[in-house]
Chains A and B, each alone.
Chain A
């Protein structure tokens, strides 16, 4: 298992800031969908409860590294440094969005952050990430390519073809599997098969291709950060691909087809005393919510006081609110724009 490194006060504050930013931004996305008619007309996916995984991974990356992600990409883009305004604008398809409204919630792409594709096709990004790594090898740079994906991807053929070649050619790629349906007692270790995967341990599959792997508790911010730092530096040193499984317990609000903010927006009191939260949330807040667990540890370690956290959250709340206004006030693209950028 991974040795959790010690992180400075600044580093830990920064982690919490990013966690709350993603949490509040995703709440805003849910508000877009539920408070405005037809603003987000189709399906959409939020990252609530998975914040530590994306933040830990992106913290380990250098600015010129590549990141590939999925339909559940908002958190990854923000963790990678995406600005709230353009991200929210893209999610609701406005011209000020990173893709000028092209991609919407499914496909927030931010090449200036090294995020080159967010594929709506399960497994679609696996070969792409390996390909970016292939190009790194050919160009002889020290970059790495990192790809986020859900456990469902292990059911796709593209996954195997990609990891076989990544291993065969020792490509500098970090495979980050966000296994987001794990019972809390299994997060740290133990076998956790999924309903439609026969493998008792997801990591057995990359291991069969001689790809080293690590399993980390996705609710433990610092453990994830440490595991990712190790994995990325291994890959950067030329050790070939590495597979990281972050085990995440699903946020109760994600139980249905569309996400629901049980009891409204997240309250900091819930984090500090889960008993004060709605019944359905209490167990998750107590054992599985990365934000609650991290806030409690920061307060316990006297890194931050409750008022510090509240002040930070208030600022983030305001920033998200401004970004949301920016997005809503931004113009929708002109119809004719539909015909642009089919070809370079």
Chain B
């Protein structure tokens, strides 16, 4: 049992470091103009991505947001094909159609990310309606910004009404795009909106990876057991701007530093060392391995061919 747990935790840390290295490299590539377009990174939110992914079974579905690199990597998406998609290469997950905001990895039941705030919540409900019959659960990510969209509220109602097997994971990073939550809504926590419909909420420290895992497991178990939807509100923080290149001047002084101390990767590493899961020198090894995978991903991306412009109309219809 202990070994199993250790193995799981080690694996989770590997994924967190992979995400961190991947996104740091993405930022670098953007600055070097080797990647372009609107790219959103979730550095500082890896704990949520990995905690939730670990709580889901392989048959479960997951829907993302515009900030989903981490959600996908945590679930095992190949970094090479993801990087290739970010670059718009023919070998990308979506053969260059999607780009950073619109990634899909259907083989891993990562149905879609989206450029529309709150846009995947109804999709997730529908998948829950269909997949629930086979005992599969659907998790969907949304940010605090989405709490002001009508679609979240329409969906809270229907999810509760039909007891759908869906886990609504709110990544509350305190900012809707460029604006602090307090300027957008009167509620203190997004999960408050579930109360009128009797949807239970778990508010967790999103930078405490194990807390996310536990909350995620409980919500998934409840959904699988026919208990209906749960909101898991993860309080976290993106250490970078809204998009790569956003100077993020709108943040309070000291805010970033304060959250750096709560960096989920560092906290989880420390925890694993504490409980003896990792030997002191093991972390470097894991990090080195992650960097190596990211470098492979970059070379895969670089060496991959561009899509043929003439293929532009492919996949509009079957």
Q: Do chains A and B touch in the complex (CB under 8 A)?
A: yes
* Any B CB within 8 A of the CB of A155: yes
Residues of A within 8 A of B161 (CB): 196-198
Asked if A198 contacts B154 (CB within 8 A), the reply is no
Asked if B154 contacts A157 (CB within 8 A), the reply is yes
Complex interface residues of chain A between 165 and 179 (CB less than 8 A to chain B)? 167-168
Residues of B within 8 A of A205 (CB): 196
* Any B CB within 8 A of the CB of A258: no
Closest to A203 in B: B196
Binary CB contact string for chain A from 195 to 235 against chain B (1 if under 8 A, 0 otherwise) = 01111110011011110000000000000000000000000
Asked if A156 contacts B196 (CB within 8 A), the reply is no
* Any B CB within 8 A of the CB of A160: yes
Asked if A161 contacts B196 (CB within 8 A), the reply is no
Residues of B within 8 A of A160 (CB): 150, 152-153
* Any A CB within 8 A of the CB of B148: yes
Asked if B153 contacts A157 (CB within 8 A), the reply is yes
Taken together as a complex, chains A and B put the C-alpha atoms of A159 and B151 apart, in Å, by 11
How far in angstroms is the closest Cβ of chain A from B168? 14
* Any B CB within 8 A of the CB of A164: yes
Closest to B154 in A: A157
Specify which of A156, A196, A199 lies most central, judged by the most chain B CB atoms within 10 Å of its CB. Answer: A199
- Segment at the interface with A among B28-36, B40-48, B50-58, B186-194: B186-194
Asked if B149 contacts A208 (CB within 8 A), the reply is no
Complex interface residues of chain B between 156 and 210 (CB less than 8 A to chain A)? 156-158, 160-161, 184-187, 192-193, 195-198
Q: A155-B154, A164-B148, A199-B157 are in contact. Are A204 and B196 (CB under 8 A)?
A: yes
Taken together as a complex, chains A and B put the C-alpha atoms of A204 and B160 apart, in Å, by 15
Taken together as a complex, chains A and B put the C-alpha atoms of A205 and B186 apart, in Å, by 13
How far in angstroms is the closest Cβ of chain A from B245? 29
How far in angstroms is the closest Cβ of chain B from A173? 15
Taken together as a complex, chains A and B put the C-alpha atoms of A167 and B186 apart, in Å, by 7
Asked if A201 contacts B148 (CB within 8 A), the reply is no
Residues of A within 8 A of B198 (CB): 198, 200
Taken together as a complex, chains A and B put the C-alpha atoms of A168 and B193 apart, in Å, by 15
Closest to A202 in B: B196
Taken together as a complex, chains A and B put the C-alpha atoms of A55 and B13 apart, in Å, by 65
Taken together as a complex, chains A and B put the C-alpha atoms of A158 and B152 apart, in Å, by 11
Residues of B within 8 A of A207 (CB): 196
How far in angstroms is the closest Cβ of chain B from A90? 31
Asked if B186 contacts A197 (CB within 8 A), the reply is no
Asked if B195 contacts A156 (CB within 8 A), the reply is no
Interface size class of B (residues with CB under 8 A): 20 to 34
Q: A167-B186, A205-B196 are in contact. Are A159 and B157 (CB under 8 A)?
A: no
Binary CB contact string for chain A from 137 to 175 against chain B (1 if under 8 A, 0 otherwise) = 000000000000000000111111100100110000000
Asked if A168 contacts B192 (CB within 8 A), the reply is no
Which of B151, B152, B157, B185 makes the CB contact (< 8 A) with A168?
Answer: B185
Asked if A168 contacts B186 (CB within 8 A), the reply is yes
Residues of A within 8 A of B158 (CB): 198
Asked if A155 contacts B157 (CB within 8 A), the reply is yes
Closest to B194 in A: A208
Q: A157-B149, A157-B151 are in contact. Are A198 and B187 (CB under 8 A)?
A: no
Taken together as a complex, chains A and B put the C-alpha atoms of A199 and B153 apart, in Å, by 11
Taken together as a complex, chains A and B put the C-alpha atoms of A209 and B193 apart, in Å, by 8
Residues of B within 8 A of A208 (CB): 187, 192-193, 195-196
Taken together as a complex, chains A and B put the C-alpha atoms of A198 and B160 apart, in Å, by 6
Taken together as a complex, chains A and B put the C-alpha atoms of A119 and B148 apart, in Å, by 23
How far in angstroms is the closest Cβ of chain B from A67? 23
Residues of B within 8 A of A167 (CB): 186
Residues of A within 8 A of B184 (CB): 168
Asked if A209 contacts B157 (CB within 8 A), the reply is no
Residues of B within 8 A of A210 (CB): 186-187
Which of B148, B151, B186, B197 makes the CB contact (< 8 A) with A199?
Answer: B197
Which of B149, B150, B187, B197 makes the CB contact (< 8 A) with A156?
Answer: B150
Taken together as a complex, chains A and B put the C-alpha atoms of A161 and B184 apart, in Å, by 11
Taken together as a complex, chains A and B put the C-alpha atoms of A160 and B185 apart, in Å, by 11
How far in angstroms is the closest Cβ of chain A from B144? 13
How far in angstroms is the closest Cβ of chain A from B163? 9
Asked if A209 contacts B186 (CB within 8 A), the reply is yes
Taken together as a complex, chains A and B put the C-alpha atoms of A193 and B255 apart, in Å, by 43
Residues of A within 8 A of B150 (CB): 156-161
How far in angstroms is the closest Cβ of chain B from A127? 10
Complex interface residues of chain B between 93 and 110 (CB less than 8 A to chain A)? none
Residues of A within 8 A of B149 (CB): 157, 161
Residues of B within 8 A of A196 (CB): 157, 161
Q: A155-B157, A159-B150 are in contact. Are A199 and B196 (CB under 8 A)?
A: yes
Asked if A201 contacts B196 (CB within 8 A), the reply is yes
Asked if B157 contacts A197 (CB within 8 A), the reply is yes
Q: A168-B184, A198-B197, A208-B187 are in contact. Are A156 and B154 (CB under 8 A)?
A: yes
How far in angstroms is the closest Cβ of chain A from B283? 44
Asked if B157 contacts A198 (CB within 8 A), the reply is yes
How far in angstroms is the closest Cβ of chain B from A242? 14
How far in angstroms is the closest Cβ of chain B from A265? 40
Residues of A within 8 A of B187 (CB): 208-210
Taken together as a complex, chains A and B put the C-alpha atoms of A244 and B148 apart, in Å, by 22
How far in angstroms is the closest Cβ of chain B from A209? 6
Taken together as a complex, chains A and B put the C-alpha atoms of A159 and B152 apart, in Å, by 12
Q: List 29 A-B contacts (CB under 8 A).
A: A155-B157, A156-B150, A157-B149, A157-B150, A157-B154, A158-B150, A159-B150, A160-B150, A160-B152, A160-B153, A164-B148, A167-B186, A168-B184, A168-B186, A196-B157, A198-B156, A198-B161, A199-B157, A204-B195, A204-B196, A207-B196, A208-B187, A208-B192, A208-B195, A208-B196, A209-B185, A209-B186, A209-B187, A210-B186
Given contacts A168-B184, A197-B161, 4 further A-B contacts (CB under 8 A): A160-B153, A168-B186, A198-B157, A209-B187
Residues on B lying within 8 angstroms of A by beta carbon are 148-154, 156-158, 160-161, 184-187, 192-193, 195-198
Pick the 6 closest A-B CB pairs, nearest first: A157-B150, A198-B160, A204-B196, A160-B153, A198-B197, A199-B196
